[in-house]
Structure 1
Amino acid sequence: MSHTRPRRLSTLLTAAALLLVTLVAGGCAASEAGPADTASGSSSAAFPTTLTHAFGTTTIAAKPERIVVVGLKEQDYFLALGEVPVAIRDWYGNMPNATWPWARERLGEARPEVLARAELDYEKIAALRPDVIVGLSSGMSRQEYDLLAKIAPTVAQPAGDGSWAVTWQQMTRAAGQITGRSAEAETLVADLEKRIASVAGAQPRLKGARTVFASTYEGQYYLFSPETTASKVLLDLGLTMSPEVTTLTDNANQSATISRERFDLTDVDVAVWSEAATDPGVATLLGDPLYTRLDVHTQRREVFLGTEANGALAFSSVLSLPYVLDKIVPALAAAADGDPATDSEYSAK
């Protein structure tokens, strides 16, 4: 599975574990209502505050001191606002404390509990005594939400946006509302939007250039939807994706596998691959004549990210996007010029 293509979480819980969760829950401040369109909230820092999400509404009575993250990348947003979660859900990359380089110094001396990606451990989450559980990027099911809400007020993903399409703006504003720091969150959003626009304006080659975001994970070739968080950042920089890719990836996973015979879909102005050029999957790709005969390869219009750079784009957070703007955007521009002599650290050597 690609690093940018999370899988559905397990929803199984034994009767004994459910009983334990119910016993330790002790009064949840969450309330249910009809689905709403966004998990972002008002700019007011007052409590109580209510957030809307895919499964209704959740009310947080007072500023939470113990935040448990069950989403795959929310830690960046809380850390950006000066709040350290007591637990972080691991995604990939085997990073210390499940925290990536661009966010690590914000931990200070804190060492949050790391929750496994594979499935939710309800007993462990309950033992952490959370004031709030946050799963904006978790893609949690209704059953998982109901179980978590027995432990503490739980904020799930937005309704209507798909499990993996939550924007960095939505995430920032939701984290601001949860922590009572909405004004700071709005400042983060405004400043970063301004910087993205400035960087995009300084790279006219990217405006209107066609792109795909792809992966070679485990011998399969994947294309990702323009609705995923990472793809949306590429589009914000002025790049475009074809209607065919949009149609192919319009599903719950927001991705599609393609056969070698459809490498033509990657023959674009800038092809962004999640793996490094040294990855075994990329080596296979670059040894395949069905791919190497394409203009995207002969003109070296490829960008091969690797773990850290792919993580920065996959997270696309207020902390990781400056990395994207500083390091990945110049590589995109070098690829988009169509000159095989133009190189970057993310080119195939």
Structure 2
Amino acid sequence: MSALKRALAATTLFLALAGCGDAATTPESSASAAGDTFPVTVDHAFGKTVLEAKPERVVVVGYSEQDYYLALGTVPVAIRDWYGDQPSATWPWAQSYLKGAKPTVLPRADLDYEQILGLDPDVIVGVSAGLTQEQFDTLNKIAPTVAQPSADDPWAVTWQDKTRKAGQILGRSAEAEKMVTDLETRLAAASTKYPQLKGASTVFASGFEGQFYIFSPNATGSQVLLDLGLTMSDEVGKLTDNANDYYTISKERFDLLDVKVAVWSEAPDDALIKQLLANPLYTDRAVHKEGRDVFLGQEANGAFSFSSVLSLPYVIDTIVPALAAAVDGDVATTSDFSAK
């Protein structure tokens, strides 16, 4: 883009934002989100956003949030990339819900406000984006924007909350509530089917850029493990009680991984996991010697990390049996996700 075009684009954005004002967010409103009528008022960390009519053009700036809108029959006009290099930033379990559409893919890193403005959104959704006040204010001048529920813990949003929020925004609250109830029933049934998971200790771990990490009990994947009846130690909770919701573990703290079932986000053939599996400080531990470590790989980890209304059925059908097989300590019954 030439210097002149950049200047014109910046001027256009400034004028558009100035003209939009702050009408979308109000401290009080008589609108109610009850039922499926509009206008509705959506509460979030930065106030209340009023949607005057059902949005048709939804721009998703939150990570992994597209699944909820697809499940409720709305294809976002734009989806923010997270990871995995998937077509239209949409994973296999959700591809059919696109119905042939190809939403714009927004960059994972910094938000491009000019790009978002050009998409002419009716609503911008960032429930799982960890938006700052400044980012929210800028987006809200483009279109009514919904941020995360809490400013104190912007990433700790459950799949139930995301489902209900999407239902409220789309005016399909009853349908969203049924999705929550049905999926909670399926999770409960899986827990009943595999009683060996109840009370079993676990960690959700990952390797990245030469380091190993364990995730907080508040992390999305961890929450699914806990919902299935597994447990995480108080020590893991304390170590991960920080802004990042994870803890970097040194090789001297591999004891944190010696649980009933350790869930790793990577596949065994990942370069860093190969290093892990060549290190006796890990391989001599019972969690590995007894085959109680489960390595997911890209697709399985994607489903686990998204933990959405569309990916959780994959988790229940594919990953949960592997967890149950690993817990028994019999290496002959573990599952390998390396091909997934």
TM-score by length of 1: 0.91
CA distance in 2, matches of 1:191, 1:161: 30
What is the aligned partner in structure 1 of residue 25 from structure 2? Answer: 31
SS of residue paired to 2:120: coil
Contact 1:85/1:112 (<8 A) preserved = yes
* Segment of structure 1 superposing worse, 153-162 or 257-266: 153-162
Q: 2:145 and 2:191 mapped to 1: Cα distance?
A: 36
Separation in 2 of the partners of 1:148 and 1:18? 15
Aligned-pair distance for 1:347?
7.7
The amino acid across from 1:98 in the alignment is: A
1:133 paired to 2:127: no
Q: 3-state DSSP class of the match of 1:341? A: helix
3-state SS in 1 of match to 2:79 = strand
Is the 8 Å Cα contact of residues 137 and 163 (structure 1) preserved in structure 2? yes
Q: 1:161 to 1:303 in 2, by over 3 A?
A: farther
Q: Which residue of 1 aligns with 2:230?
A: 239
Can you list the C-alpha shifts for 1:90-124, whole angstroms capped at 9, x where unaligned? 00000000000000001012110000001100000
Tell me the residue number matched to 1:56: 47
1:342 aligns with 2:333: yes
Give the 4+ runs in structure 1 shifted more than 6 A. 14-18
- The residue number in structure 2 matching 1:93 is 84
Q: State the Cα RMSD in Å.
A: 1.9
- Tell me, yes or no, if structure 1 residue 82 matches structure 2 residue 73: yes
Contact 1:88 1:98 (8 Å CA) reproduced? yes
**SS of residue matched to 1:31:** coil
- Name the counterpart of 1:319: 310
The 5 A counterparts of 1:200-349 are 200-346=191-337
- 1:21 maps to 13
Look up the equivalent residue of 1:267 and give its one-letter code.
D
Deviation at 1:43, TM superposition (A): 4.7
In the alignment, is the contact (CA less than 8 A) between 1:17 and 1:122 conserved in 2?
Answer: no
Residues 81 and 89, structure 2, Cα contact 8 Å, conserved in 1? yes
Match of 1:156 among 126, 144, 147: 147
Q: Distance in 2 between matches of 1:245 and 1:18?
A: 46
Number of aligned residue pairs: 329
Tell me which amino acid in the other structure corresponds to 1:284. Q
1:163–1:252 contact (8 Å) kept in structure 2:
no
Which segments of 5 or more consecutive residues in structure 1 lack a partner in the other structure?
A: 1-13, 35-40
Q: Give the Å deviation of 1:17.
A: 6.8
- Per the TM alignment, residue 304 of structure 1 is displaced from its structure 2 partner at its CA by 0.3
2:108 is the counterpart of 1:117: yes
Q: CA deviation at 1:16?
A: 8.3
Q: Is the 8 A contact 1:213 1:273 kept in 2?
A: yes
In the alignment, is the contact (CA less than 8 A) between 1:70 and 1:135 conserved in 2? yes
Q: What is the DSSP-based 3-state SS (H/G/I as helix, E as strand, rest coil) of the residue aligned with 1:216?
A: strand
What is the distance in 1 between the residues matched to 2:79 and 2:315?
A: 23
Structure of greater relative contact order (alpha carbons < 8 Å, 6+ residues apart): 1
**1:42 Cα deviation after fit:** 4.5
